[in-house]
Amino acid sequence: MLRIMLKIKDLKASVEGKEILKGISLEVKAGEVHAIMGPNGSGKSTLSSVLAGREEYTVDGGSVEFFGKDLLEFAPEERAREGLFMAFQYPVEIPGVSTTNFLKTAVNQVREHRGLPALDAVQFLQNMKDKMKIVDIDQSLLKRSLNEGFSGGEKKRNEIFQMAMLEPKLSILDETDSGLDIDALKIVANGVNTLKSPENATIVITHYQRLLDYIVPDFVHVLLNGKIVKSGTKELAYELEERGYDWIKAEFANA
């Protein structure tokens, strides 16, 4: 029996007094890939933000358990150290801080939390070199200021590279496909697939089915107006691609 990693129960959340998530329930087990699809404004990004612990979002009800612990009790950095990773839709620029330096700080804080000794410079660089191959990222990019002047593709590859370095249990990819051409999309997807193991899980948040050709989900959930209205397998994604979201909207217009 697979272990339950993430257990979301009737999660309700709002931002600036506006109710966005209206009762979401979802279970993710180790080794699984879940896709969450839905039209703009359905609450996809709110869900990832709430899970990652962004301050602007208020949880109004429900619960989230991560390996049996109350995730919502944790500060954002504690969630990260417990093994939750989010690939940002819009990665943030930090001038003057190289990706290498940034990741060294992050990796060693995470390692400290997990009771592991800090990596020295040599070990860290070796580790980096190994992981760079996964997303075909160039070392010169990692010496530059974090995300500053990076192309869209470089930013997203850098997100997956960070994921590789931090070795999370659960990764949430928030619209990672947005703004990517097909080549970049393949590289990113390939990276995610390489990192996949029976011990970790992935939640892919996307508007389009396209990414799911490369990261094949075990389950597909349709988010509409703050609720998961339909769940299925990858075939559901194809159906959405073909028919759009309107038929689901119509079906649940009165829900």
Partner 1 sequence: MSKDAEILDEFTSKEYEHGWTVDLEADEAPKGLNEDIIRFISAKKEEPEWLLEWRLKAFRHWQKMEEPSWAAIKYPKVNFQDIIYYSAPKKQKKLKSLDEVDPELRETFKKLGISLEEQKRLTGVAVDAVIDSVSVATTFKETLAELGIIFCSFSEAVQDHPNLVKKYLGSVVPQNDNYYAALNSAVFSDGSFCYIPKGVHCPMELSTYFRINAANTGQFERTLIVAEEGAYVSYLEGCTAPQRDENQLHAAVVEIYVHADAEVKYSTVQNWYPGDKNGKGGIYNFVTKRGICAGDHAKLSWTQVETGSAVTWKYPSCILKGDYSVGEFYSVAVTNNYQQADTGTKMIHLGKGSKSRIVSKGISAGFSQNSYRGLVQVHKRSENVRNFSQCDSLLLGDKCGAHTFPYIEVDNSTAQVEHEATTSKIGEDQIFYCNQRGIDTEAAVALIVNGYAKEVLNKLPMEFAVEAQKLLALTLEGSVG
Contact between 69 and partner 1 per CB under 8 A = no
Contact between 15 and partner 1 per CB under 8 A = no
What is d(CA 163, CA 103) in angstroms, rounded to the nearest whole number? Answer: 10
* Helix runs in the chain, H state only: 44-52, 76-82, 99-113, 121-132, 139-143, 152-166, 182-195, 234-243, 246-251
What is d(CA 114, CA 107) in angstroms, rounded to the nearest whole number? Answer: 11
Name the minimum Å distance from CB 111 to partner 1. Answer: 9
What are the C-alpha distances in Å from 116 to residues 110, 111, 173, 229? 9, 5, 27, 42
Contact between 94 and partner 1 per CB under 8 A = yes
- Cβ distance to partner 1 smaller for residue 56 or 246: 56
Show the tokens assigned to 220: 């597909």
Contact between 95 and partner 1 per CB under 8 A = yes
Total number of residues that touch partner 1 (CB under 8 A): 31
Contact between 121 and partner 1 per CB under 8 A = no
Which listed range, 21-29, 84-92, 128-136, 177-185, lies at the site for partner 1 (CB under 8 A)?
Answer: 84-92
Question: String of b and e for 131-156 (b: at least 16 CB within 10 Å)?
Answer: bbebbebeeebbebbbbeebeebbbb
What is d(CA 26, CA 242) in angstroms, rounded to the nearest whole number? Answer: 25
Contact between 101 and partner 1 per CB under 8 A = yes
**Contact with partner 1 (CB under 8 A): which of 8, 20, 71, 103?**
103
**Contact with partner 1 (CB under 8 A): which of 47, 64, 80, 137?**
80
Which listed range, 10-18, 96-104, 218-226, 239-247, lies at the site for partner 1 (CB under 8 A)?
Answer: 96-104
- 178-237 binders of partner 1 (CB under 8 A): none
- ∠ CA 144-150-151 to the nearest 5 degrees? 155
Show the tokens assigned to 155: 């930013």
- Cβ distance to partner 1 smaller for residue 200 or 209: 200
Q: What does the binding site for partner 1 look like in residue numbers (CB under 8 A)? A: 52-55, 75-77, 79-81, 85-86, 88, 91-92, 94-97, 101-103, 105-107, 109-110, 113, 145, 162, 166
